[in-house]
Structure 1
Amino acid sequence: MMDFTTIAEFSRNNCLGICAFLVPFNLLATLQTLIFIGLNRPPSQILLISGFASLYSGLMVLHVFTWFMIGVVMIPTYVLLLLGTTCLIINIWAVQFPKSLRYIIGQIVLWVQKIMGRIQTVAFN
């Protein structure tokens, strides 16, 4: 049987490597989930990529909790906890309510296109 204390010590001793892996993979996998939702990909593909992204964000949250267990309360721990939790919520949302997330992504795209149109108008006048 595995000892949780050993796993927590490993997590804290290799924090730099773990964070250097988890932060970009977490962000890229969650971005890929959002792209798949925006492109209206099949639910099986969304579930697969969202599952991987949820794994990364869940591991990040557990990694941060190992620091909280020993009393390390610093800004980076809260930032990583916020990042992991936000990505986890987005991935759960993508699986549970893909239509509402697709609508919000569409509204954001329209808003960005509107802003870019204004910038181009000002730039050429």
Structure 2
Amino acid sequence: MLDFNTLAEFSRTHCISICAFLVPAILLATSLTIVLTVLGRPTHQVLQTAGIASIFAFVMVLHVYTWFAIGVVMAPTYILLCLAITCLLSNLVAILYQKYQVNSMSFSNNA
């Protein structure tokens, strides 16, 4: 069975390692999503990169919430939370933009 307290303690104990991996992973994956969207790549490629970037960002949100749960309220926790939320929103906008482009192209081809 999965124990939340054990996972939260692991997250807080290995904070530097987790953040050293997640911050660049979030930035690279979200940047790749944006680049693929701007280049007009197929929808499945954009969805894959956005999905991976969103998983990384969601894990960062959970990691930050483990710190909030024990009362750690500092600038880095808010900065990391803002980074994760910004990347989640960027990926959502990229997906919606990609869907809008595909729909508008199909309407223009039918006319």
Query: Which TM bucket (shorter chain)?
Result: 0.7 to 0.9
The worse-fitting range, judged by mean Cα deviation, of 39-48 and 85-94 is 85-94
Matches within 5 A, 1:91-106: 91-98=91-98
Partner of 1:81: 81
Partner of 1:4: 4
Question: Given the two structures, how large is their TM-score scaled by the length of structure 2?
Answer: 0.87
Rg comparison, structure with higher value: 1
Gaps of 5+ in 1: 102-125
Partner of 1:106: none
Partner of 1:123: none
Gaps of 5+ in 2: 102-111
CA distance in 2, matches of 1:64, 1:100: 33
Shift of 1:34: 0.4
Partner of 2:105: none
CA distance in 2, matches of 1:100, 1:28: 24
1:65-123 Cα distance to aligned partner (Å, 9 max, x none): 0000000000000000000000011112212233679xxxxxxxxxxxxxxxxxxxxxx
Is residue 2:38 matched to residue 1:43?
no
CA distance in 2, matches of 1:85, 1:51: 14
CA distance in 1, matches of 2:94, 2:43: 9
Aligned pair count? 101
Shift of 1:54: 0.3
Question: Given the two structures, how large is their TM-score scaled by the length of structure 1?
Answer: 0.77
Partner of 2:59: 59
Q: What one-letter code is carried by the residue in structure 2 that aligns with 1:65?
A: Y
Over the residues paired in the alignment, what is the CA RMSD in angstroms? 1.4
Q: What one-letter code is carried by the residue in structure 2 that aligns with 1:4?
A: F
